[in-house]
């Protein structure tokens, strides 16, 4: 199953989250499966966290944003506000890969749970 992620910033623009037989990977490209495939596990993920105003500002330099605060006021601020509410249907998160590439994206909460679980697993 390929889940399209809404990417807000970072090193990727078109990314799909692939969940197949318990394995999770990211695929870059305009169409799912046409680009680079990145397996998600404890070796490939340096950090995975919910996006908050503080976390976006903290890693703003890592993401290459001089104006991380401006982004925070946009979709990230909105998403963080939604996260503070009771029933979450979407999750905005920050993913930093071991090779230094990163992204801020939004997926549904079930897809985020799979991504989080896979990022903690050993290859």
Structure tokens at 55: 């976390």
C-beta of residue 98 within 8 angstroms of C-beta of residue 45: yes
List, in order, residues 6 or more apart from 44 with CB less than 8 Å away.
38, 97, 98, 123
Look at the block and give the residue holding tokens 């939604």.
82
CATH of the domain at 56: 2.30.29
Q: Which domain holds residue 106?
A: 2-120
Whole-model pTM over 0.85: no
Structure tokens at 39: 């397996």
How many domains does the chain divide into? 1
pLDDT tens for each residue of the chain, 123 residues long: 888 888 888 888 888 888 888 789 998 887 766 788 999 999 999 999 888 766 655 555 545 443 343 344 445 554 554 454 445 588 889 999 999 998 888 998 889 999 999 998 887
How far, in Å, CA of 49 to CA of 70, rounded?
20
């Amino acid at each position: 199953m390929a889940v399209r992620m809404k990417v807000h910033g970072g090193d990727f623009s078109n990314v799909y989250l692939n969940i197949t037989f318990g394995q999770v990977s990211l695929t870059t490209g305009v169409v799912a499966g046409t680009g680079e495939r990145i397996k998600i596990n404890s070796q490939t993920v340096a950090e995975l966290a919910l996006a908050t105003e503080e976390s976006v500002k903290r890693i703003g330099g890592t993401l290459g944003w001089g104006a991380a605060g401006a982004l925070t006021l946009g979709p990230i601020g909105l998403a963080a506000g939604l996260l503070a509410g009771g029933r979450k249907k979407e999750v905005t998160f920050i993913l930093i890969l071991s090779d230094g590439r990163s992204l801020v994206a939004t997926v549904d909460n079930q897809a985020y749970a799979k991504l989080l679980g896979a990022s903690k697993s050993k290859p």
